Amino acid sequence: MARITIKGHEFNQLVIRDSYDRRAQLFCNTIIETLRKIGISEDDVDVQLQKVARAKGSAAASWYFDGHYMYFGYKLADKFVENLYIVSKVIELEVKALLEERITMEEFTQHFSEDHDIEKRRKEARIILGVPEDCLDLDLINRNYKNLAKKCHPDAGGDQELFKKINNAHKMLKRELS
């Protein structure tokens, strides 16, 4: 079984071949139960399930914690249900680290805190960097970023505001895909 590393956590990548919808519901319930361990009520958790869990699609969970909007999404796996498993696993490992005091409340918040319109902003970032809206290829994103940064760098006579937008877009997508 292949191992993957996401947000500094290494675990087995799960390849699901059956019971897709049932497993998606199980992962949704696991996310809710995991977040309940740190005092988050079910009403403050949102996990959108796809109608067909075996289809390709990104998965995400959002919740409110300590006055912050928290979000984690994943879309690099082949199926929605496999993406939801990864979301569930990362949240589980982060909550465990928080409960075992290996990370602080501030670090936990920093790992997941996002703006409400994060998906829209990620699409805009891809447009700024000149890659397709659904691009998941970090190498292509990095190449486009480097080319644009060279061309727009203020020291080379470029526009400083555009250079800032390019840098921010790259940081956002790098955080998403790392």
Q: What is the DSSP letter of 103?
A: S
* CA dist., res. 133 & res. 167, Å (int): 17
Q: Do residue 107 and residue 160 come from a single domain?
A: no
Instruction: Write out the two tokens for 174.
Output: 């790098």
Q: Look at phi and psi of residue 130 and say left if phi exceeds 0, alpha if psi is from -120 to 50, else beta.
A: left
CATH assignment of the domain containing 126? 1.10.287
Which amino acid type is present at position 176?
Answer: E
Q: Do residue 45 and residue 105 come from a single domain?
A: yes
Q: What is the DSSP letter of 166?
A: H
Work out the mean pLDDT of the chain and round it to a whole number. 92
Q: Do residue 37 and residue 101 come from a single domain?
A: yes
Q: Do residue 16 and residue 58 come from a single domain?
A: yes
Evaluate if residue 36 carries a pLDDT over 80: yes
Instruction: Specify the number of domains making up the chain.
Output: 2
Q: pLDDT category, 25, cuts 50, 70, 90?
A: very high
Domain span including residue 165: 118-177
Tens digit of each residue's pLDDT (9 = 90 or more) over 107-152: 999 999 887 788 888 889 999 999 998 888 889 999 999 999 998 8
Q: pLDDT category, 82, cuts 50, 70, 90?
A: very high
Q: Of 56, 90, 112, which residue sits at a domain end?
A: 112
Q: Do residue 133 and residue 104 come from a single domain?
A: no
Q: Do residue 72 and residue 154 come from a single domain?
A: no
Question: C-alpha 167: how far from its chain's center?
Answer: 19
Per DSSP, which regions of the chain are E strands? 3-6, 9-12, 45-47, 59-65, 68-74
Q: Do residue 69 and residue 88 come from a single domain?
A: yes
Q: pLDDT category, 159, cuts 50, 70, 90?
A: confident
* CA dist., res. 40 & res. 102, Å (int): 20
Tens digit of each residue's pLDDT (9 = 90 or more) over 52-77: 999 999 999 999 998 899 999 999 89
Evaluate if residue 50 carries a pLDDT over 80: yes
Please report the pLDDT score of residue 90 as a whole number: 97
Name the more confident of 7 and 80. 80
Q: pLDDT category, 94, cuts 50, 70, 90?
A: very high
